[in-house]
Amino acid sequence: MARESLKIGIAGLGAVGLDVARRIEAGIPGLALAAISVRDVEKARRNLPQIGTRIPVLAADALAQSCDVVVECLPPAMFRNVASSVIEAAKIFMPLSVGQLLENWDFVARAKETGARILVPTGALIGLDAVRAAAEGTIRSVTIITRKPPNGLEGAPYLLERGISVVGLKAPLKVFDGTAREGARGFPANVNVAAALSLAGIGPDRTRLEIWADPGVDRNTHRIDVDADTARFSMSIENVPSENPRTGRIVPLSTIAMLRGLVSELKVGT
């Protein structure tokens, strides 16, 4: 018997949200784009003509009323409002601003009370399956080293507060060395990868993070080193930036893969 398609709402149609919307519209069995939330409806309609006719435009905090899953692709400042609406409606919340989840941890406890689920896509990383598996045992340490082209870090609060400039760099510059929690707070649009890694492993206060502004790279690169009682492993990935240099092109594909896993009869990996 055919199942009814899972209704997907997307909050924000930037580089990630638009790609996710287009891929769902192109046809993924079991998934239907039910609504979107945007500030500029005319721009959204130019990018996706079905918007405003077959695909309704709703306020971000109203998506959960007509959708089963809400994918959050918003500026960090808008995170709490949309997250709260989805959690209270006992729907599935899929945040891309994962670092904001660390700052709003009360939503996890509230989701347990309401029956909502919070599902975090792998995003720009690889190997979270291995980290999650190792976390079932004992992980001694996790380190992530992120290198980005300088323009992908411009405007980060941590840099502005300390007067650190990455303009015109001729050599790599380490701009941050601390915990994943501190990094997510200081670079809210840049290192959601570190937040996701910390949640899969030993938490945001034990996961170590280095961030480098590197004029010698043209891709967002991440290296992860994990030392556990069951395995010791290292992983690295070089992501092609999207039109938004802070985000890799693989992020929307990771989101689609997670959405597909909700409805597929075969799911590979933990």
Angle ∠(98,180,187) on CA atoms, nearest 5: 65
CA distance between the termini of the chain: 27
Structure tokens at 235: 């992983």
Count other Cβ atoms within 10 Å, centred on residue 98: 23
Angle between helices 106-114 and 79-88 (to 10 degrees): 20
Active site residues: 222
Structure tokens at 208: 């170590």
Rounded CA-CA distance 74/60 in Å is: 9
Three-state DSSP state, 232: strand
Helices and strands: H and E segment counts in the chain: 10, 10
Say which amino acid occupies 90.
A
CA-atom Rg of the chain in angstroms: 19
